[in-house]
Amino acid sequence: MPTIADRIAENLTRVRAQISQACQRAGRDNNDVTLVCVTKYARPEWIDGLLECGEFVLGESRPQQLEQRASRFSDQVQWHLIGQLQRNKVRRTLAVTSMIHSVDSMKLLERIDTIAADDGHRPSVLLQVNISGEDTKGGFTSDVLRDAWPRIHSLESVHVRGLMTMAPLTDDPRNSRDTFDRLRHLSLELGAGPTGQGGACLTELSMGMSNDFEIAIEAGATIIRLGRTLFEGLDA
C-alpha cells in the first residue's frame, strides 16, 4: 500500500512535469520557478511527506500556525507567509520566515522596516497587489503603489523583492491571464530602479495557485503557491 510520501511523490512528479511543460511553452528555464508548497490545511504527517520528498519551501497563511510549525519541523524548511499579517505580529513572524508575500499596505511595510532595523534583520518581502480590483481582496491598488513607490524606494531595512497577486476565482484558468500579465507589466514599470540601500530590484512575481499555475508561469511567475494539488489522493 502506498505511503503518504509515495502519494505526495506521485503528485510532485505530475506537478513538476506541468511546470516543465509551462516553462517550455514560455521559453523559460524550470529553475526560474520556485514552488512554495502550501501547508495551510495539511496534516503534520503530510508535511513530513513533503520533507521526505525533498520539498523544503513551505507556505502558511496564518502567522500563529507558521510559528508553531516552524518550531516543530526541520530547520531546513524555508517558511513563507502567504496570508494576512497584522502589525502586532510582525516581530515574531520575521523571526521564523524566509519571505512574506502579503505586505498589503504602506503602514505594514513601514512597520516591518522599523522592526527589521531594530532587530538587525533585512527581511525579504513581496508587495500584495489587488490587480483585479475586487472588494474581497486586500493589497495595494496599482495607482496607490505607484504613488507610494518613492517612499518604498527609500526604506533601508526591508528588501522588497517583488510583487504578489491572486487572480479572481474562475472556472477557466485562462481567464487569469490578464491579471497575471498586468502584474508583470506593473513590476517592469516599477522595477527599473533599485529599492532601498540594498540595491535589490523587483525580481519576483508570486502568482498562480493549484488551478492556474501553468497560466501564471506562462505569464512570468517566478513563485507559484500550490496546496491542494500536492495532496490529491490523501484523506483530509
Confidence of residue 192 (pLDDT cuts 50, 70, 90): low
Range of the domain at 93: 4-231
* Residue found by looking up cell 492556474 in the block: 212
What DSSP assignment string belongs to 140-170? B-HHHHHHHHHHHHH-SS-EEEEEE--PPP-
* Structural domain contains residue 48: yes
Is the pLDDT assigned to residue 171 strictly greater than 90? no
Residue 236: predicted pLDDT: 61
Burial 110-143 (b: 16+ CB within 10 A, else e): ebbbebbeeeebebbbbbbbbbbeeeebebbebe
99 by Cβ neighbours in 10 Å (0-12 / 13-18 / 19+) ranks as buried
Task: Please check whether residue 123 lies inside any domain of the structure.
Answer: yes
How confident is the model at residue 199, as a pLDDT? 38
pTM equals 0.94
Residue 6, C-beta contacts closer than 8 angstroms, at least 6 positions apart: none
Tens digit of each residue's pLDDT (9 = 90 or more) over 149-163: 999 989 999 999 999
pLDDT digits (tens, 9 = 90+) for 5-49: 999 999 999 999 999 999 999 999 999 999 999 999 999 999 999
Question: What is the average pLDDT score of the chain?
Answer: 93
Task: Say how many domains are in the chain.
Answer: 1
Q: Please check whether residue 128 is in contact with residue 104, taking contact to mean a CB–CB distance below 8 angstroms.
A: yes
- pLDDT band at residue 193 using 50, 70 and 90 as cut-offs: low
Asked whether the predicted pLDDT for residue 115 surpasses 70, the reply is yes
Report d(CA 140, CA 195) in Å as an integer: 17
Asked if the structure places residue 54 within a domain, the reply is: yes
Let me know if residue 9 belongs to a domain: yes
Helix axes 44-52, 63-72, angle to 10 degrees: 60
Domain presence at residue 236:
no
Element housing 194 (H / E): none
pLDDT of 98-112, one tens digit each?
A: 999 999 999 999 999
CATH code for the domain of 8: 3.20.20.10
**pLDDT bracket for residue 195 (50, 70, 90):** very low
Tell me the pLDDT band of 196, cut-offs 50, 70 and 90.
very low
